Amino acid sequence: AQKITQTQPGMFVQEKEAVTLDCTYDTSDPSYGLFWYKQPSSGEMIFLIYQGSYDQQNATEGRYSLNFQKARKSANLVISASQLGDSAMYFCAMRGNTGGFKTIFGAGTRLFVKA
């Protein structure tokens, strides 16, 4: 069975500092994709970054980078130079190949950026 675990219900970070949001996963699929989404208080879900299980390099998208450690089954999101607008819920997600391409989500981490 596939599982995503986000152990940090809430995180605080000072504006302009970097923050790491943790995500661990469990799957028996040899090939899978890992995603991070942001959900601001307005409610819409925004796709941030993708990491494929066979990608050799960590994914980066602007201020977002994914620290992928395959052996540890972790896919932590690093946000550099935090901004007030980064305050939101962040969801880690995984899509595998077993039984189709469904994507499962973790419980989320609420990030608060302090001025």
Partner 1 sequence: KAGVTQTPRYLIKTRGQQVTLSCSPISGHRSVSWYQQTPGQGLQFLFEYFSETQRNKGNFPGRFSGRQFSNSRSEMNVSTLELGDSALYLCASSLLEGGNYGYTFGSGTRLTVV
Note the residues at the interface with partner 1 (CB under 8 A): 33, 35, 37, 43-48, 50, 52, 91, 95, 97, 99-108
CB of 4 to partner 1, least distance (A): 10
CB of 92 to partner 1, least distance (A): 11
Nearer to partner 1, 15 or 52 (CB): 52
What does the alpha-carbon distance between residue 39 and residue 59 come to, in Å, rounded to a whole number? Answer: 20
Instruction: Give the Å distances, CA to CA, from 7 to 32, 56, 99.
Output: 21, 26, 27
Strand partners, 35: 50, 93
CA 62 to chain centre: 15
CB of 64 to partner 1, least distance (A): 12
